[in-house]
Amino acid sequence: MKLEHKEKSMLFSETTIPDIFFTEYLSQIPGDYMKIYIYMVFLSKYNKDIKINDLSKILSLPYKEISEGTKFLEENGLIIKKGTGYLIVDLQEATLHKLYKPNLTLSPDKIKENAKNKSRAKAIEHINNTYFQGTMGPLWYNQINLWFDKYNFEEQVMIGLFDYCYNKRALHKNYVQTVADAWGMNGIRTWSDLEKYEQHREKLAQIKRTIAKKLGKRDGLTQYEEAYIEKWVCEFKYDLDIIEIALKRTTLKSSPTFEYINNIITDWHERNLKTPNEVQEFLEKRKQQNKNAKNLEKQVSKASYEQRKYSNLEFLYANKEIKGENHG
């Protein structure tokens, strides 16, 4: 007995994508790469052999974009490169393996401790309901638990992390991981730590805006210019009142650069000048030294001129005496 399955024509056929794709991967994929992925999923149903050059023409994307897109999809676990083509990853199966892969590093005591951590569970549920409308993918739960353990964040800080990324319209794992790393490196553990960090960031942002305005940079600062300012504020611990003294000195230059300003401020830091008064006293002292040096230079020049004049007269008289003797 032979059983047959009648295939639907393309007009009535469907290409399905599992919900796990929308909860775990969608936010991380750039628009053009999304087009590549969906079309590859569509083609995989028909076991079609297609080349990158063909994809470029069909999707109206540059060859380079197709090449970079397939590489991105491979690196993010959506496709697997085979000998002459690609295999579309079964996202449901892959997620299942990630969720139930044995974690041999956790002791029974640790597992018990995590199970009893009701406040952490409430925080995660709040994140799910507030920022994912109750549809947070299962991999997020594991990831948040890992961040709790890695950074030792308080529950309120973890919620603050998602709130920050949500407001930045960047609620995907790579971005959240980047922000979490930055907070961890800056010693943020408690809500109080986070508030101090935010105050510092706002102060730094205000200083950057003020400097850009004073220097007439209407298009904003470049990444390298911002790096200079961050060094002055974060490393040298200088406030705007000291930096502004250096900015005023740019009027002495026809086209001042940030490197010029940085040289001035770095010199003050190396001289251990910490307050505006110390900087002003140093500048006044240097001004007086320059003035004294110029006066001394004038005196030396005048003395040298008088000496040359006297020497010339002696030479002149000596010549007259020689001539007189010759006439005699």
**Alpha helices for 101-154 (secondary structure H):** 108-115, 118-131, 138-151
In a domain, 174, yes or no: yes
| pLDDT score at 179 | 94
Tell me the mean pLDDT in the region 31-57: 83
pLDDT category of residue 267 using cuts at 50, 70 and 90: very high
Same domain, 154 and 222: no
**pLDDT of 220-237, one tens digit each?**
899 999 999 999 998 999
pLDDT category of residue 321 using cuts at 50, 70 and 90: low
How many domains does one find in the chain? 4
pLDDT category of residue 84 using cuts at 50, 70 and 90: confident
Does the reported pTM lie above 0.75? Answer: no
Same domain, 170 and 116: yes
Q: Distance between CA 217 and CA 213 in Å, rounded?
A: 6
CATH assignment of the domain containing 65: 1.10.10.10
Q: Distance between CA 284 and CA 278 in Å, rounded?
A: 10
| pLDDT score at 314 | 57
Ramachandran quadrant class, 187 (left: phi over 0; alpha: psi -120 to 50; beta: rest)? left
What would the two tokens of residue 43 be?
A: 């083609």
Query: Which amino acid is located at 110 in the chain?
Result: K
- Of 35, 34, 30, 43, nearest to 86 by C-alpha is 43
- Among 116-120, 176-180, 289-293, the range with the most confident prediction by mean pLDDT is 176-180
Q: Which residue has the higher pLDDT, 273 or 254?
A: 273
- Phi, psi of 86, rounded to the nearest 5 degrees: -135, 150
| pLDDT score at 98 | 67
In a domain, 267, yes or no: yes
Q: How far is CA 188 from CA 23, 168, 191, in A?
A: 28, 20, 8
In a domain, 158, yes or no: yes
In a domain, 281, yes or no: no
Same domain, 207 and 269: yes
Q: Which of 120, 153, 187 is the last residue of a domain?
A: 187
In a domain, 242, yes or no: yes
| pLDDT score at 121 | 85
Domain span at 110: 106-187
Residue 8, exposed/middle/buried by CB under 10 A (0-12, 13-18, 19+)?
exposed
Q: Which of 158, 187, 216 is the last residue of a domain?
A: 187
Q: Which helix (H) or strand (E) holds 87?
A: strand 86-88
Same domain, 267 and 308: no
Q: Which of 156, 187, 218 is the last residue of a domain?
A: 187
Indicate if the pLDDT at residue 327 is higher than 70.
Answer: no
In a domain, 12, yes or no: no
Average model confidence (pLDDT) across the chain: 82
In a domain, 143, yes or no: yes
